[in-house]
Structure 1
Amino acid sequence: MSWIATPAIRPFGSVRIFARLAAVSLAAALTSACVGSMPGVGSLGAAPTPAPAPEAPAIEAGKLRVGLILPLTGGGNAAVAANSLKNAADMAVAEFSNSNVALLVKDDRGAPDGARDAAQQALAEGAEVIVGPLFAPSVQAAGQVARQAGKPVIAFSTDAGAASRGVYLLSFMPESEVDRIIEFAASKGKRSIAAMIPNTAYGTVVTAAFQEAAARRGVRVPALDRYNPDRASIEAAAKRIAALGDQADALFVPDGGDGMGLVGAALAANGVTGARMQLLGTGLWDDPRVFAAKGLQGGWFAAPDKAGFNNFAARYRARFGSDPTRIATLAYDAVFLVNALNAKYGAQAFSEATLTNPDGIIGTDGLFRFRQDGVSQRGLAVLQVGAGSASVISPAPRSFTPGA
């Protein structure tokens, strides 16, 4: 079913792109180069042997040229993710009514030098905006080139360090998930929240976000325990958390997949249950392995609402005959946004004031906006783990709080 007839954008002061929205599971990280949750890519298997790049078609005069930079011949699963992102970008062009976008597809090979070359090529061919790259070092390299040319970048890394003025990250940022779940827990009377966090790059990012979110809301942190991703370290950390007694009324554990299976079992074995401490997590919990794990039922976590991704995935399968990667919606929303802003605002479409409008935009995965520092914020739902599934207990907001 097609849901796009015309670009549904309201005048600024209240910019919105209305899609039938949302998200599916946030799984394991793609690579430490992204420094955060890179959902749904790691389990795809080996990348296919890259095919020779097709000859670029001639571009119709008057089209808005958009550079699309992806690791099309990157190693591991990077090429799989890149192909899905490219398909989603093509789909956004096809589904936008009277699209005026021409994509200039460039391969960065999953490396900063490749991203720098790709950005230079795209800009030399007339690109007004860059979409991508995927990995943080490549984003930084392409961003340097684009800034010198006065052109914005809408990239997909989850490493906030890759963002800067003019380089915007349209990603599933761990910081947004942490802030949402701590805000929700505090609103439900949880005033003393301990944390048990994996010793990973993702864990380091989430630790800082947790401490900031807790301080902002006056939440006490009686313990912050880091553990290595092995059974012995997890069991030792669970014992230390259990020893807190009634000092904590909630426990934040931002792990996913198999890791949460070990964590849940270790906590249960030490008497740490939802009745004693409310368990809290991030979008990494949106995973069937977490839903099936012992001791995690009743836990709360923050993630995008599911409906939008499910709708997107059905259209993607109909068009391409395969399932999209979880992050494919990022390319779809970026290209759809570029098309819509160009249609409405012309020469001012990609100014900083337009791109960082505080009212935000509703895309496939729900509400988001870009801050002036380039980091995105998302309006997320809070879900509760049940037996083999999760259900929404606090819907994603449809607008940002003024001044927040």
Structure 2
Amino acid sequence: MFPSFSFLRKSRRQVLLLLSAGLLAACQAGLPGGSGPRVRAGAPIEVALLLPYGSASPGDEIVARSLENAARLAASEFEGVQLEITVYNTAADPAQAATVAREAIQQGARVIVGPLRSDAAAAAGVAVSNSNVAIMSFSNNTEIAGGNVFVLGHTFQNTADRIAGYAMAQGRNRVVILHAQNLAGEVARDAVQQAFAARGGTVAGVASFEFSQQGVVQAIPDVMEMIRSSDANGLVITSEASAALPLFAQLLPENGLDTEEVRVMGLTRWDIPPQTLELSGLQGGWFALPDPDANAAFNARYTAAFGDAPHVLAPIAYDAMRAIAETAAEFGVLGVTELTSSSGFAGANGVFRLRANGTVERAMAIATVLENQVSIIDPAPGRLGASGF
């Protein structure tokens, strides 16, 4: 799974209320752009790092430490630009995130990296919307992107675009989408529909299921009937390995799904945890993942520096710092216009770039599962084209 899909913690309405407030403030103060904070040549660049230290949620402390380590690793590796990092604790609380974001600006921060989740990132964006300071959050909730807020997490849309492009090239042009009846499932469904439609493909059917074990079991007959009646040659399962994916991977073949005739595809990581690769229904299927070579190189450097393996989200913090350093070196300004001018940064998970709408575009590899092992069948591109992959 992509652990950054944490926007389910808050309802769509809560996030949109925060976003609406931020847009109103931005309209009054002027959106950030070419007039962003300038950096003085030879002087340290003040970077505020907002992390969920002090959170009551189990595991947040580990995530925060790994994100901080990755950010400091990036700062140490870039020559010619000195990044001075100050950590601010958010306790994973939106109100505290807003407070420390304002404090960071008052103390001279030229850019904010973090917070972790979308509710805190939206609140921080509202708090500093009149400052022209960009917020490079670790969230992947594109509903909060725009204005002064970037989301650097892996998004369903980015993954769907990559999967759809590869599937269409292989002749898998009629797909059925299978998604949970929850916010994540709906966002994923929309991403797949948009990606295939943009490439001339056909969404032959959309099946949904109640987000429970019983809901999965009850959905099987309807899914199989939809696949047969629609003459689909692909099935996109949006669920993750920690949710419904394993059940579907077991039950669909048992109920007649021919995975050669109907290629199974996924929007989430099938290699985390590794046991997922043993599921019979995923053998020969396709999923997207970050550039394995870039990720392995980052993991090796991180482990050498800190003595343990990085959290799966750590590369996002590294990437944020990389984008800041390269932008500052080239333009001497850290506004949205400058941050989104690059044709691609070399990140810990491969090449990526920031878009003017606040989202991120990432180069990804296509993998298949052969004999319970990951096999790369289409490597991640080394550069991004004019309009994507």
Aligned 8 A contact 2:151 2:358 in 1 = yes
TM-score (norm 2): 0.85
Report deviation, 1:376: 0.9
Which of 226, 233, 255 aligns to 1:270? It is 255
Q: Which amino acid aligns with 1:275?
A: E
- Quote the residue 2:278 is aligned against: 292
Deviation of 1:371 after TM superposition, in Å, equals 1.5
1:4-403 correspondence runs (5 A): 26=2, 29-30=5-6, 32-33=8-9, 62-76=43-57, 77-243=59-225, 244-245=227-228, 247-258=231-242, 259-287=244-272, 288-346=274-332, 348=333, 350-357=334-341, 359-403=343-387
Change (3 A) 1:26 1:141: closer
Three-state SS of the structure 1 residue aligned to 2:201 is coil
Q: Secondary structure at the match of 1:314?
A: helix
Q: Provide closer, same or farther for how the CA distance between residues 199 and 140 of structure 1 changes in structure 2, counting only shifts above 3 A.
A: same
1:274-303 alpha-carbon deviations (Å, 9 max, x no partner) = 122011112332321321112210001112
The CA deviation at 1:251 is 0.4
* Aligned-partner SS, 2:280: coil
- 3-state SS of 1:164 partner: coil
Cα root mean square deviation, aligned: 2.2
Alpha-carbon separation, structure 2, partners of 1:358 and 1:323: 30
- Name the SS of the counterpart of 1:205 in structure 2: helix
Aligned mates of 2:210, 2:275 — CA distance in 1? 19
Question: How far, CA to CA, are the matches of 1:181 and 1:358 in structure 2?
Answer: 24
Deviation at 1:87, TM superposition (A): 1.2
Count of aligned residue pairs for this structure pair: 354
Q: Deviations over 1:237-267 (max 9, x none)?
A: 2222222326111100022224322111111
How far apart in 2 are the matches of 1:356 and 1:301?
Answer: 28
- Shift, 1:328, TM fit: 0.4
Which residue identity lines up with residue 376 of structure 1 in the other structure?
V
- Contact 1:28–1:257 (Cα < 8 Å) also in 2: no
Contact 2:7–2:141 (Cα < 8 Å) also in 1: no
Q: Is the 8 A contact 1:26 1:286 kept in 2?
A: no
Secondary structure at the aligned position of 2:311 is classed as: coil
Q: Percent identity?
A: 29
Contact 1:255 1:284 in 2 (8 A): no
1:303–1:383: 8 Å Cα contact kept in structure 2? yes
In 2, Cα distance between the equivalents of 1:369 and 1:165?
17
Deviation of the 1:358 alpha carbon: 5.8
Q: Retained in 1: the 8 A contact 2:4–2:313?
A: no
Deviation at residue 98 of structure 1 after TM alignment: 4.6
Displacement, 1:99?
Answer: 4.2
Question: Which one-letter code corresponds to 1:207 in the other structure?
Answer: R
Q: Is the 8 A contact 1:66 1:127 kept in 2?
A: yes
Q: Structure 2: how far apart are the matches of 1:196 and 1:127?
A: 44
Equivalent residue of 1:224, what SS? strand
Contact (CA 8 Å) 1:34, 1:135: kept in 2 or not?
Answer: no
Structure 2: unaligned runs, 5 residues or longer: 13-41
Please state which structure has a larger fraction of its residues in helix: 2
Q: CA deviation at 1:30?
A: 5.0
Task: Rate the CA distance shift 1:399–1:98 in 2: closer, same or farther, 3 A.
Answer: closer
State the Cα distance separating 1:35 from its structure 2 match. 9.1
- Give TM-score, length-normalised by structure 1: 0.82
Unaligned runs of at least 5 residues, structure 1: 1-24, 37-60
| In structure 2, distance between residues paired with 1:122 and 1:211 | 40
- Partner residue, 1:14: none
